[in-house]
Structure 1
Amino acid sequence: MRDFEIKDIKFSKKPISIPVDYRPVYKIAQIVMILSITCIGNKSSLLKLHLLSWALKDDKNKDEVLELLKSNYAKDIAVWGIEPALNRALLFCISENICSMENGKYLLTEKGVEFFKLIVKAEVFAEEFEFLNFVGKRKITDNRIESISNKWSLFNVKN
């Protein structure tokens, strides 16, 4: 058997567009909106952030969450997406002091509150605002999310 040797590798930069869902600034703005609009005390668990970020990804996901809320949690919801892009944006948020960690939850800082005011002033994210305002601060609690996620292993895992 011969040794495999690479003598030269060249990379050339190609212009590509990055989908908005993977752009850090968009995800940071999304986190700030979720914490500001849907979280009591501007504080949330990681699972809640992932659920609402997943819901904002497309209309089908939003509808699934809205049906869950309208049925007062009588309907089940499938496993929602856990996005590495959101996790990276949370790391940026913490490093830029937009949010902090407190007892295992993400908390919006004063800088984050000021960022939220800029987002509101810019009058962007109309769809996101509409959905998040419908959800409000009391409809999706961390306890509800934990209860839903505990069912995952019961209903969504096959032998």
Structure 2
Amino acid sequence: MQIFAEKITFSKKPISIPPEYRPSYSIALIVLILKICCQGSKSSLLKLHLINWALKSNENKDSIKKFIRSNYNESSKTWGIEPSLNRALNFSVHEGICKIENGKYLLEEKGDIFYSKILADSNFLNEEIEFLKFLGKRKITDNRIESIYKKWKIQNA
């Protein structure tokens, strides 16, 4: 059972917040990942975290690219679970941008509209979109992620 906040508020802070911790940036990434990298715009939580982790640095992107180019044989770095992504997912569900269906996140009509607005601005998230298009819908599947997770669990447990 998921519990969602009744009300989410934002307040100005005296210091700037790095983009990756801003809810609007994280929500935009969720929408892009679901639309560009997921069959039927639907994804597991683990896949969202993996791709979000990859987008954090060029080193992480290179690790994923190397893993894919090795035909999924080379080990990839272990990725992390980002609490700010979980908060953005909760907000996205609360706002109707996506919903949870059978344990997976599914983009809603409001998310499709947001996706169109992101693409309409040719100066917005270009590097992220380019990487997500490289991944496409078939390079990082839920089955591959589960396989990576099982390998990692055996090697590191």
TM, length-normalised to structure 1: 0.88
Q: Hey, what's the Cα distance between the residues in 2 that align with 1:37 and 1:141?
A: 12
Identify the residue that residue 31 of structure 2 maps to in structure 1.
Answer: 32
Deviation at 1:95, TM superposition (A): 0.1
> 2:142: which partner in 1?
142
Report the Cα offset of residue 61 of structure 1. 0.2
Q: Secondary structure at the match of 1:100?
A: strand
Cα-to-partner distance string for 1:95-149 (whole Å, 9 max, x where unaligned): 0000000110000001100100000001211100110000001111001001111
Matches within 5 A, 1:10-159: 15-123=14-122, 124-157=124-157
3-state SS of the aligned residue for 2:16?
Answer: coil
SS in 2 for 1:107: strand
Amino acid at match of 2:149: S
Counterparts of 2:152 and 2:91, CA distance in 1? 29
Q: Deviations over 1:49-79 (max 9, x none)?
A: 0000000000000000011111110111121
Q: How many residues of Structure 1 are paired with residues of Structure 2 in the alignment?
A: 145
SS in 1 for 2:55: helix
Give the fraction of aligned pairs with identical amino acids, expressed as a percent.
60
SS in 2 for 1:106: strand
Q: What residue ranges of structure 1 are gaps of 5+ in the alignment?
A: 1-12
**CA displacement at 1:14 relative to structure 2:** 6.7
Aligned partner letter, 2:147: S
Task: Please report the RMSD computed on the Cα atoms of aligned residues, expressed in angstroms.
Answer: 1.2
Q: 1:95 to 1:67 in 2, by over 3 A?
A: same
Larger CA Rg, structure 1 vs 2: 1
Where does structure 2 lack aligned partners over 5 or more consecutive residues?
A: 1-11
- Tell me the TM-score normalised to structure 2 length: 0.89
Amino acid in the other structure paired with 1:35: L
